[in-house]
Amino acid sequence: MKDESSKIMPPSPSQAVKKDAIDLKAEEERVVQGLINRGFLSMEEVARCIPDGSKGGAGYLQRVQAAGLVTAGQFERLKADLQLLSGQQIPGYVMMEKLGQGAMGVVYKARQIRLDRLVAIKILRGKLASDPDSFVRLEREARLAAKLSHNNIIQAIDVGIAGKLKYFVMELIQGKTIQEEMKAGKARYPEKQAVEIILQIAQALEHANKRGLVHRDIKPANIVLTGEGVAKLADLGMARENTDVELIKKEQGMIIGTPYYIAPEQVRGEPDIDTRADIYSLGATLYHMVVGSPPFEGESVMQVLKAHESEELQPPDHIIKELSSGIGEVVEMMMAKSREDRYRTASELIIDLECLLNGEPPKLARKKISASLAGLSQGEEEEAAQAVAELPNWVYICFAVLGGGLVLSLAANMVLALKK
Ligand SMILES: Nc1ncnc2c1ncn2[C@@H]1O[C@H](COP(=O)(O)OP(=O)(O)O)[C@@H](O)[C@H]1O
Ligand SMILES: [Mg+2]
């Protein structure tokens, strides 16, 4: 096979050392980021290192020392490490501030130098960074995201490894997650706003599901809201294609999801998880948004998981009186214990969410309730008949005696009346 790499000519010595202003600036930014990542500098301290004409990574290190932010010993060690500091970055991108973090990675804002645009980069964190399996997962996440193209799903850009960094580049969403907003003091979302957000994520799910994909980790921390009120579904790290037989086998019996929002069938580690599990988790998310706390809480993860499986759900409108009964019905249907009783698809859910936004009763949830009420009253009659059929013989005997007594006393009364 022809060696393609041999076509690339190595730079001449003069080219190799000559760095233009853009390179120097980029190198400086990499060193700044490296120093922040290593905990040497905070953002405020970065602002204190005022430019003095010195350029590049080495120049920046001098300024850090001049500002008294590192000791002489630290300075010497950092100087020795300069190559690594300015090199341990992702080619083509300049890392900027941290945006957030999850169980798998830390997400940074970054500038894609060639296209001169801002992006977000997830970098695998901690032990995951050195686990060879984790890159397989990250790459799968990126590839699944790349199959999707929807305004309410974060778009994939690239995935790769640079030195020790395993990264996934994606569209940058300037905003906050629902979880961040709630942590920052938003106790509850007004019903209309919550439904508008959940509707957008239902549309994202409809798109993903039509392409055979289940997200499996729908929760407030994986929904980013832009300033314009657009909701974006993030983190396909747990997502699975329903054609991925190998992964389905590998994950058999594993509990995949986040305890507060996980569907009962995921708790049981069932293999054939489908879009109805996402609908359940989206229901739990909607519940949390309008009630201000997750549907089930407990002392331990096990307790919460058990509650999803068997504890009765208190409808949100029974807890927060301002909520409509409609939203209560929709959440109940989304979070039905048995997936047979949930919306079958995101498209069905969208119908009811739109009803709520139009101030109408939710068509499908209402129909379901009427059907189950009808079933219940029919069931009650059958139950009563069954109960009668199962009465012990002596009960009939008592009735017969009582009945006989009644007839006798009635007859006696009639006789008495006639006599009068
Ligand atoms: N594209 C993005 N734009 C802006 N912030 C993001 C983006 N993706 C993720 N984040 C932030 O980073 C956090 C972690 O990202 P996530 O993909 O959920 O990582 P993990 O797989 O570790 O859970 C999110 O909760 C959010 O705050
Ligand atoms: Mg996440």
Q: pLDDT of 308-367, one tens digit each? A: 999 999 999 999 999 999 999 999 999 999 999 999 999 999 999 999 999 999 999 988
Task: Please tell me if the CB atom of residue 225 comes closer than 6 angstroms to any atom of ligand 1.
Answer: no
For residue 86, which of 60, 66, 110, 125 has the smallest C-alpha distance?
60
Q: How confident is the model at residue 251 (pLDDT cuts 50, 70, 90)?
A: confident
Task: Please tell me if the CB atom of residue 138 comes closer than 6 angstroms to any atom of ligand 1.
Answer: no
Distance 153 CA to ligand 1 centre (A): 12
- Read off the pLDDT of residues 279-314 as tens digits, 9 standing for 90 and up: 999 999 999 999 999 999 999 999 999 999 999 999
Give yes or no for residue 21 having a pLDDT over 50: yes
Q: In 3-state terms, what secondary structure has residue 213?
A: strand
More confident residue, 395 or 219: 219
* Residue of 98, 171, 235 best suited for mutating to test ligand 1, as the one with most atoms within 8 Å of CB: 235
Q: How confident is the model at residue 10 (pLDDT cuts 50, 70, 90)?
A: very low
Look at residue 27 in the predicted model and tell me its pLDDT. Answer: 81
Lowest mean pLDDT among 55-64, 195-204, 326-335: 55-64
Contacts of 32 (CB under 8 A, 6+ apart): 41, 46, 60
Task: Please tell me if the CB atom of residue 154 comes closer than 6 angstroms to any atom of ligand 1.
Answer: yes
Lowest mean pLDDT among 18-27, 127-136, 271-280: 18-27
Q: DSSP string spanning 173-191?
A: --EEEHHHHHHTT-----H
For residue 26, which of 74, 73, 92 has the smallest C-alpha distance?
92
The whole-model pTM stands at 0.73
Look at residue 298 in the predicted model and tell me its pLDDT. Answer: 92
Give yes or no for residue 378 having a pLDDT over 90: no
Q: What is the mean pLDDT of the chain?
A: 83
Contact yes or no for 280/334 (Cβ under 8 A)? yes
Task: Mark whether 81 is an active-site residue.
Answer: no
Q: Which of 81, 116, 133, 217 is catalytic?
A: 217
- Read off the pLDDT of residues 66-117 as tens digits, 9 standing for 90 and up: 888 888 888 888 887 676 577 557 888 888 788 999 989 989 898 898 999 9
Query: According to the per-residue pLDDT averaged within each range, which of 69-73, 91-95, 183-187, 378-382 is highest?
Result: 183-187
What would you measure as the largest C-alpha separation in the chain, in angstroms?
A: 137
- Read off the pLDDT of residues 105-146 as tens digits, 9 standing for 90 and up: 989 898 898 999 999 999 998 788 888 888 999 999 999 999
For residue 124, which of 144, 141, 104, 140 has the smallest C-alpha distance?
104
Task: Please tell me if the CB atom of residue 153 comes closer than 6 angstroms to any atom of ligand 1.
Answer: no
Look at residue 29 in the predicted model and tell me its pLDDT. Answer: 81
Distance 340 CA to ligand 1 centre (A): 32
Residue 154 CA, closest ligand 1 atom number: 1
What residue ranges define each of the domains in the chain, with the CATH number in brackets?
A: 19-87 (no CATH), 88-172 (3.30.200.20), 175-361 (1.10.510.10)
How many Cβ atoms sit within 10 Å of the Cβ of residue 410?
A: 10
